[in-house]
A and B are shown apart, each in its own frame.
Chain A
Amino acid sequence: MDLFANLATGFAVALTPANLGFCLLGALIGTLVGVLPGIAPITTIAILLPFTFTLPPASSLIMLAGIFYGAQYGGSTTAILVNVPGESSAIVTCLDGHQMAKQGRAGPALAIAAIASFVAGTLATVVIATASVPMTWLALKFNAPEYFSLMVLGLTGAVVLAHGAPEKAVAMVLVGLLLGLVGIDVNSGAPRMTMDLAGLADGIGFVPIAIGMFGIAELAVTLGKPQDRSLLTVKFSNLWPTRADIRACVPSILRGTAIGSILGVLPGGGAALSSFAAYALEKKVSSTPERFGRGAIEGVAAPEAANNAGAQTSFIPLLTLGIPGNAIMALMVGALMIQGIQPGPQVMISQPQLFWGVIASMWLGNLMLVVLNLPLVGLWVSLLRVPYRIMFPAIVLFCCIGTYTVSNTVFDIWTMLLFGILGVFFYKVGAEPAPFVLGFVLGPLMEENFRRAMYLSRGNPWVFFDFIERPISAGLLLCAAALLVILVLPAVRSKREEVFQEE
């Protein structure tokens, strides 16, 4: 298949008026929630998920993707102007971006953030388009054991890259896998762990879990914390970066894009990690590292490029292998499955319009964002003045309505409430919800492939680790083991340092 022919197919889908509209809508909603601290893109996607069910699959994915990368743009606006990250991946943008704003250079900071995001978005779209074809070819060689091992690797990645204690992330993955099994067993038709509740026959609903944990729980926790939203009165004397700024930023943007593209593909990776890594690299390669943290424009350009590139390339494992690399991609899997599409390598062949349409829309969405974002900065800033106490009840209401509309029963609302309370508990004991959601989505798929592989090997578990017959599966498990070793090493080191300090 020819790349240009594929992209042409994609643009034909993405350029229809309806899909352009959904792309714009998604990008705008994404920017909005990116700007507003306290509403994460994952919460927004979870809330809007039910409303996309009535749309055609391509339109719904185009809009949901727009929310994700739109949030990367919006998050930097808040970071630069208010010194509060509107979104977790914008934390490092605060460092130099806000310093620039204080020095009266808010305009160039915002402009370079938008330009860096756009350049990275464009390059990442090309990366996705070129990487997808060989990835899909590889994926067609996958059988049950390979899929199982790949999911093990994905979950290990989620554990390694989770914030907080890794042993709790492991526990959360296990809990997610276990709860994913609730419902009727596909092979035998036997109801499992349903407690004779009709509402559990099809398993615990994905939407109530996602909205409960990322919506309700998040809100309750945020409200319990003190709020700080002192706005900086910014003067936009000059919006455009100088020629020297641009020259300084070009290599930074390219380096940021490269880092983001690579880290985005890794399981558990994505936008937030990419921006941290890019900032660290810029500081390392700079001849004047002391300028960082005092308004260095490279310190804005590189992480912004990286988080946008990472946000986009994290779609690669989802679109080609059907394996979500992070919690937001797990929501996308949920969206596809409810549309009746089983994500995986066959999607690209059986639904080329969907696949390439989404990819083409990413580039269009980035273009819209860079055009719209700078003129709209004033509007976003005025939205920041809306107090949280007004936004918050609206979000609670939308969470409820969104969950209810999935299957029009209040059973889902009670499920959402239960998982909201559980979410607060998890937050308080320091356990991340993201590995849980990933485990929950992958649970049934893993069980199915595990059972099929074991059936084919007549109960021999070495089928997963057979270097001669199944090199891909064995290689994937080896990668997972290597990740775990890396995870243990620094812990061992720091423990040892503690011991040495005590002596």
Chain B
Amino acid sequence: MTSRLNVPDLCFAVFLVALGALAFALSGQLSIGSAAAMGPGYVPRGLSAIVMIYGLALGIRAIFSGRQSFPEIALRPILLTSAAVALFAVMLPLVGLAITSFAVVICSGFAAYDVRLRENAVVALILSAFGVLLFVKALGLPIPIWWR
């Protein structure tokens, strides 16, 4: 029976409880101290407990607050944009900015539904050259252009 479930609210509540629990566990080793002389753990533990309780309250309300299904997610833009960012993180230390920029632009270009192959390749070439000239040559940022 999902007739009364508010799915987006419930997902958000689960996220809050999980995050609160994680923060509570991670700050478990820290000393709490007293209200007059707080240790490093006082505020993190207090705040993560509040987040958990707040999440629980939102979750209980979401179960009874009327049906709402999770909004549709357009997967293609999200997956390909994420992939482009991941590519940047993996490739940059290996092959330098020039090739990485090209790959990132090609990959993220496909996130748009109306991508055109030739146009995307040209844009990638221009942006790659522009990025190297502007950021490395003109602004002097310490980014490797090629592999080392």
A190–B43 Cα distance when bound, in Å, is 13
Which chain B residues lie closer than 8 Å to A190 at the CB level?
30, 40
B-contact bits for A164-179, CB 8 A (1 contact / 0 none): 0001101100110110
Q: Is there contact, CB below 8 Å, between A454 and B35?
A: yes
With A220-B111, A454-B35 already in contact, the answer to whether A167 and B58 are too (CB < 8 A) is yes
Q: Which residue from A181, A193, A221, A400 sits with its C-beta under 8 Å from B88?
A: A400
Summarize A's interface: helix, strand, loop or mixed.
helix
A429–B19 Cα distance when bound, in Å, is 16
A223 within 8 A of B: yes
Q: Is there contact, CB below 8 Å, between A177 and B47?
A: yes
With A181-B43, A181-B47, A190-B30 already in contact, the answer to whether A392 and B112 are too (CB < 8 A) is yes
A92 within 8 A of B: no
Q: What is the size category of the interface that chain A forms with chain B?
A: 35 or more
A451–B92 Cα distance when bound, in Å, is 42
Interface size on B, residues (CB 8 A): 70
Q: Could you name 30 residue pairs across A and B whose Cβ atoms are closer than 8 Å?
A: A168-B12, A168-B58, A174-B47, A175-B16, A178-B44, A178-B48, A181-B47, A185-B30, A188-B39, A193-B27, A193-B44, A195-B26, A219-B77, A219-B81, A220-B81, A220-B111, A223-B74, A397-B88, A397-B101, A399-B85, A408-B142, A410-B88, A414-B86, A420-B82, A421-B82, A428-B73, A429-B11, A451-B42, A451-B43, A457-B36
A177–B51 Cα distance when bound, in Å, is 10
A224–B139 Cα distance when bound, in Å, is 34
Which chain B residues lie closer than 8 Å to A102 at the CB level?
none
A223–B82 Cα distance when bound, in Å, is 13
Q: Which residue from A393, A450, A461 sits with its C-beta under 8 Å from B120?
A: A393
A388 within 8 A of B: yes
B64 within 8 A of A: no
Q: Is there contact, CB below 8 Å, between A405 and B34?
A: no
Which chain A residues lie closer than 8 Å to B141 at the CB level?
401, 405
Instruction: State the A residues within 8 Å of B (CB).
Output: 51, 54, 167-168, 170-171, 174-175, 177-178, 181, 185, 187-188, 190, 192-193, 195, 216, 219-221, 223-225, 387-390, 392-394, 396-397, 399-401, 404-405, 408, 410, 413-414, 416-417, 420-421, 424-426, 428-431, 447, 450-451, 454-455, 457-459, 461
A455 to chain B, nearest CB (A): 6
B23 within 8 A of A: yes
Q: Is there contact, CB below 8 Å, between B119 and A401?
A: no
Contacts across chains A and B counted by CB atoms under 8 Å: 185
Q: Which residue from B8, B82, B131 sits with its C-beta under 8 Å from A417?
A: B82
Known: A223-B111, A461-B35. 18 other contacts (CB 8 A): A168-B58, A171-B58, A178-B44, A181-B47, A220-B82, A224-B73, A392-B108, A393-B106, A396-B81, A396-B84, A400-B89, A410-B92, A413-B92, A414-B86, A417-B86, A420-B82, A421-B82, A424-B78
Summarize B's interface: helix, strand, loop or mixed.
helix
Chain A residue nearest to B37 (CB atoms) is A455
Which chain B residues lie closer than 8 Å to A431 at the CB level?
12
Q: Is there contact, CB below 8 Å, between B16 and A181?
A: no
A389–B30 Cα distance when bound, in Å, is 49
Which chain A residues lie closer than 8 Å to B26 at the CB level?
192-193, 195
Which chain B residues lie closer than 8 Å to A414 at the CB level?
86, 89
Q: Is there contact, CB below 8 Å, between A396 and B104?
A: yes
B147 within 8 A of A: no
Which chain B residues lie closer than 8 Å to A220 at the CB level?
77-78, 81-82, 111
B131 to chain A, nearest CB (A): 6
Q: Which residue from B12, B41, B93, B123 sits with its C-beta under 8 Å from A390?
A: B123
Q: Which residue from B39, B77, B127 sits with its C-beta under 8 Å from A223?
A: B77
A501 to chain B, nearest CB (A): 16
